[in-house]
Structure 1
């Protein structure tokens, strides 16, 4: 399959409405994914790609008080037909930080950078395939939330806050893990110093997968 051609740019915008909370799901098969807070609308940004079958699909609907947004790479199974090295697929997205949010990210063969500080996360689920991933959860969180990280194959860096309670339950893969500044409680459970007296706690369950995973605090 020919993947060459001129690069196309897709403007992403999910408009603010009366929803009281958001459920956002991002599904990218291959490419580069960058996510940060600061969106004026619910979701905004650009997706640049070099094959028409990579054109993203966006859906949004409101269920009760929750707005549900799904953004996904176009054709399913495209990666089985082409050389990943020929793909240009760059997602640069901003999420609104004024509303409680459940965020699900499924990435296949991609370089992923998630700067999530400042969001009002209620739940976070990240399923990473092949490629390096960085997740920044530092900052002054006002509410507790749960996070589930399946790190796949590659180098993973997870940045966590030092002034908010953090509990990590790690299911060790066959790679190497580094937990900088955390104290082991046994059975794969680690906490930071703030955990014992914290009113706000990030409960993080992770499958460390294959490769190198580093957890550190800022």
Structure 2
């Protein structure tokens, strides 16, 4: 039985027993104050005992996903907390490789010549993950195949993400992040790349390689934005390189953000 199910089962059972006693006038009392007091006591015991009951394996492990004849790929990264580092490498016959700390769940599918892969943080055995004495953090260091056309999708939470995609053939990049720091170096020779980013209370930093044109559209709340207007002159809500339409390599960037900071250079 999962420990979270046991804990919440005890809470619900105890609440039901107290409510029954109160309804039958066997033990009359003001139900809700007593219930919340007991709930807080049980939660306190759980917080104290949880780390002793649960230990996650923080051993660094290797990961590799073979191409198996695929000519393009779609990769989804679900990384809730910790550090995520992604760059590119010469990987004949592989989609990606690297190391992961804290465990990972993988889903792989083939559809014609397209390889779809999803990597997510390994589910814990109960609702609240407690770090153990060998805690190292959720650290992913990954390299993707630099010669394979691909679409990348990142869903990140509270953590630090660094993406060096300068030597990749990424055609589409999607980023959804919460309270995090995200730094991205965009492709230098991928032709046309579309970038879509959604952020809550986050810091977003995009580096556009020197020989790459860009069109940038910002939809922000109270975020502070800083765009290199010498490279990307502003026209209304859009920043755009003068040679964007004719450029051989270009990125089309659209960002929606709430609180935080945005920098594009």
TM-score calculated relative to the size of structure 2: 0.72
How many residue pairs match? The answer is 208
| Distance in 2 separating the partners of 1:199 and 1:83 | 50
The 3-state SS of whatever aligns with 2:178 is strand
Would the aligned equivalents of 2:67 and 2:115 in 1 still touch at CA under 8 Å? Answer: no
Q: Which residue of 2 aligns with 1:52?
A: none
In the alignment, does 2:126 pair up with 1:73?
no
Q: 1:114 aligns with which of 151, 157, 163?
A: 163
Give 1 or 2: higher helix fraction: 2
Q: What is the aligned-residue RMSD (CA, Å)?
A: 2.3
Superposition map of 1:140-159 within 5 A:
141-159=189-207
| Distance in 1 separating the partners of 2:200 and 2:86 | 19
Superposition map of 1:1-150 within 5 A:
1-2=50-51, 7-40=58-91, 41-49=94-102, 55-75=103-123, 81-82=128-129, 88-137=137-186, 139=188, 141-150=189-198
In the alignment, does 2:236 pair up with 1:183?
no
Do the aligned partners of residues 77 and 156 (structure 1) sit closer, same or farther apart at CA in structure 2, a change above 3 Å counting? farther
Q: CA deviation at 1:168?
A: 0.7
Q: Which segments of 5 or more consecutive residues in structure 2 lack a partner in the other structure?
A: 1-49
Would the aligned equivalents of 2:101 and 2:136 in 1 still touch at CA under 8 Å? Answer: no
Structure with more relative contact order (C-alpha pairs < 8 Å, separation 6 or more): 1
| Distance in 2 separating the partners of 1:76 and 1:191 | 45
Give the structure with higher Rg (CA).
2
TM-score calculated relative to the size of structure 1: 0.86
Give 1 or 2: higher strand fraction: 1
Q: CA deviation at 1:77?
A: 10
Give runs of ≥4 in structure 1 deviating > 4 Å.
Answer: 3-6
Would the aligned equivalents of 2:76 and 2:153 in 1 still touch at CA under 8 Å? Answer: yes
| Distance in 1 separating the partners of 2:145 and 2:59 | 25
The 3-state SS of whatever aligns with 2:146 is coil
Q: CA deviation at 1:75?
A: 1.3
Q: CA deviation at 1:175?
A: 1.4
Would the aligned equivalents of 2:170 and 2:187 in 1 still touch at CA under 8 Å? Answer: no
